Chains A and B, each alone.
Chain A
Amino acid sequence: MIPPLAQTSIGQPGGSDKCVENNGFCPDWIVDNIDRYWTPLLEHVYLTVLPVTIGFAISLALAILAHRRRWLTGPIITITGIFFAIPSIAAFFLLQPITGLGYTTAMVALVSYTLLIIFRNITTGLRNVPAETRDAALGQGLTERQVLFRVELPLAVPEIMAGLRVASSTTVGLAALALYAGAGGLGAEILRGDDKFFKSNVVVAGGLAVLLAAVLDLLILTVQRWMTPWQRART
């Protein structure tokens, strides 16, 4: 009869980690296990950056469309507003009969969530352009299209960037629930099977999410500063 392992003499030094046993906040454990957060973090970045980018593209198209046909603004706001109001976790399930379990579902839901925020901000930014500026540009012989792309949009950049910042922070938060769509991310790490609610794990996974949001925020702000040198004097 082979003796159970626990009774075999083991040449391993050190006992169990009291900190981990007692579910404390254990810096040692964190340092040792930090690499298990790498993949979830990358997944989370993917689940944030891609939806915001796609959402931006769609919102920009919609905003340009609604710029000339003002009557479209209302319906677009209403529809994207409904997408915005539907909680992400509900959306992750509502989409499953159509897109199944996995990243597609997560993406569609997260993109739909960003639309209202970004569309609203682009539209506001465009509308905030003073009428005189528009007139001056038209007076100089620019076509409507050129006015839009060369004058109005650049002037709307601060508002657009603000919208992107809000969208990216919000999406980081929502992507934490992507595990319910069958995708990964830091949320899946927080709710990991074997050590649910182990304090150190929760703090690190949650902290990384907050850090990611902060980094994206800063990045977009930097891009904004770079894109709008004429703003620097004011801010």
Chain B
Amino acid sequence: MNGSLAILGDFGEAVEFIFKERPSVSGDVMIGGIPELAGFGLTHMYVSIAAVLIAAALAIPLALWLGHIGRGDFLATATSNVGRAVPSLALLAFFISFVGLGYTNVILVLVLLAIPPLITNTYVGMRGVDRDLVDAARGQGMTGMEIVRKIELPLALPSIFGGLRTSAVNVVATATIAPLANVQTLGEPIITPQTYGFVGQLGAAIVVAVITVAVDFLFARLQRAVTPAGLKLTEPTGRRYFSLPTRRRLKSP
């Protein structure tokens, strides 16, 4: 390495690539600049948001119900284990070979990646609700649906949003390799180094990193916002924010 100034040079050039157009490595086209990157970024966010919404619509109601009746221990741990074990690249490559290219395929893969954290966290959040509260509510004559709506769901919200946070971050991160399936997200400069050069790759990497961290931060804020003040007080160490579902936790005391 040529020293610290060289490092700055690379990053400096990468930032310049983000904001200003420049000729491609082969000189054939202009690359870089905000318009092009914004185009990639829009595609990136489109597939990510679509995937998270679809996954949420599928996973959260299911996990709410399972959590309410207390019957999803195995499913929750199994999906979380399997979901973590499958590398996103392998899943995408599998779908490209067996299903094909394009938006539908990419969104499908992202949905599959988004579902496990949503199921697990929603389920754990529901199971974590104090049983006494639920019994008291039942004693007061509330129906199942009312209990879910008024007691369990609000108390499980922080966990659910934790799941959304994990899902969203995973999805946005994985959408980076969507160009392998003919969907040009922000990963396009990364997989075409002969056009964009290392500077382009680095620039795209910076944008991806910034966006993902921003998404993480956004959902962290949302998670904090939906945590009822009462809960915040009873958890002095803020444990709820970084507790992960473990075998122990899933068994009711």
B is a partner of A? yes
Is A93 within 8 A of B202, CB to CB? Answer: yes
Report the bound CA distance from A176 to B10 in whole Å: 26
A180 nearest CB neighbor, chain B only: B190
Interfacial chain B residues near A235, Cβ < 8 Å? 247-248
Q: How many residues of A contact B (CB 8 A)?
A: 57
Task: Please tell me the number of chain B residues within 8 Å of chain A, measured between CB atoms.
Answer: 49
Q: Whole-angstrom distance from the CB of A74 to the nearest CB of chain B? A: 8
A158→B10 CA distance, assembly (Å): 44
Q: Which residues of B contact A234 (CB under 8 A)?
A: 248
A42 at the interface (CB under 8 A from B): no
Asked if A77 and B10 make an inter-chain contact with CB atoms under 8 angstroms apart, the answer reads no
Q: Would you call B244 and A81 a contact (CB within 8 A)?
A: no
Contacts of B10 in A (CB 8 A): 96-97
Contact of A172 (CB < 8 Å), options: B87, B96, B202: B87
Q: Is chain B's binding surface mostly helix, strand, loop or mixed?
A: helix
Residue of A nearest to B206 (CB): A94
Q: Which of A82-107 contact B (CB under 8 A)?
A: 82, 84-94, 96-98, 100
Are the CB atoms of B244 and A120 closer together than 8 Å?
Answer: yes
- A159 contact set on B, CB distance < 8 A: 246, 248
Q: 30 A-B residue contacts at CB 8 Å?
A: A77-B242, A82-B213, A85-B169, A85-B216, A86-B212, A87-B172, A90-B209, A94-B209, A96-B202, A97-B7, A98-B1, A100-B1, A120-B242, A120-B244, A123-B242, A158-B246, A158-B248, A162-B246, A169-B84, A173-B84, A176-B87, A177-B177, A187-B87, A191-B180, A202-B94, A206-B90, A206-B94, A209-B86, A214-B85, A217-B85
